[in-house]
Amino acid sequence: MNNLTYTVGKPVLYMAGDANGWATNDYLAGDDGVHFTGYMYLNQNGFKFCTQPEWKGTNYGANFDTAPDAANITMTEEAGYYKVDVDLSAKTYTLIPITTIGIIGSASPNGWDSDVDMTYVPYNAETKELGYWEAKDITLASGEIKFRANDDWAINWGGDTNALTQGGDNISVEAGTYDIKLYAWANGYAKCELIKK
């Protein structure tokens, strides 16, 4: 008799749209398979939510219509980076604008008092590199950092640099000059790269 162990991850929803080249690369995650949250760049040229990568599952278009020819979801808000909350049972989604993401903490130049703002680098259609937030040539002291949105603690990331979570632990860093990339994505799927120079 074989004993097999399976690891079941969190339920995931994907966003495919004009802003990411219609690839199912932007994640939303949740705990119950109904409510999902993710962080992504959106524009007015349309998108859909998908249960599987590469259009292989259920695809939700306008009004959460799942017909193959369903129209795209279009938004009236301006193009930008958003926290996206989806409720599949209510067939609704909410957008919370994220105008800035910054680095804060005892290791950052401004300490815990204020953020060092990062710059958003959009999806690159040629290289297929996903969008990310970046701070170049930032000098950090030995200590801790976190990432947060809109100069506020309502949305913040910390913990394991390969699986950042909302409200996660402070991230320990060594003193040095860094290029830092943050792929905000969804809870547990977000990650950051700290490249020491």
pTM, rounded to two decimals: 0.90
Q: What is the CATH number of domain 12-97?
A: 2.60.40
Are 22 and 46 in contact, with CB atoms under 8 Å apart? no
Mean pLDDT throughout 168-172?
Answer: 98
pLDDT digits over 33-59, tens only? Answer: 999 999 999 999 999 999 998 899 999
DSSP 122-172: ---TTT-PPPEEEEEEEEE-SEEEEEEETTSSSSEEES-TTSBEETPPPEE
The confidence band for 2, taking pLDDT boundaries of 50, 70 and 90, is low
* pLDDT attached to residue 191: 96
- Token pair 């990411």 is found at 20
Are 157 and 185 in contact, with CB atoms under 8 Å apart? no
Domains of the chain, residue spans:
12-97, 101-196
pLDDT digits over 67-112, tens only? Answer: 999 999 999 999 999 999 999 999 999 999 999 999 999 999 999 9
How many Cα neighbours within 13 Å face the side chain of 128?
4
Exposure string for 140-162, b = 16+ CB within 10 A, e = fewer: bbebbbbbbbbeeeebbbbbebe
What whole-number distance in Å separates Cα of residue 118 and Cα of residue 125? Answer: 21
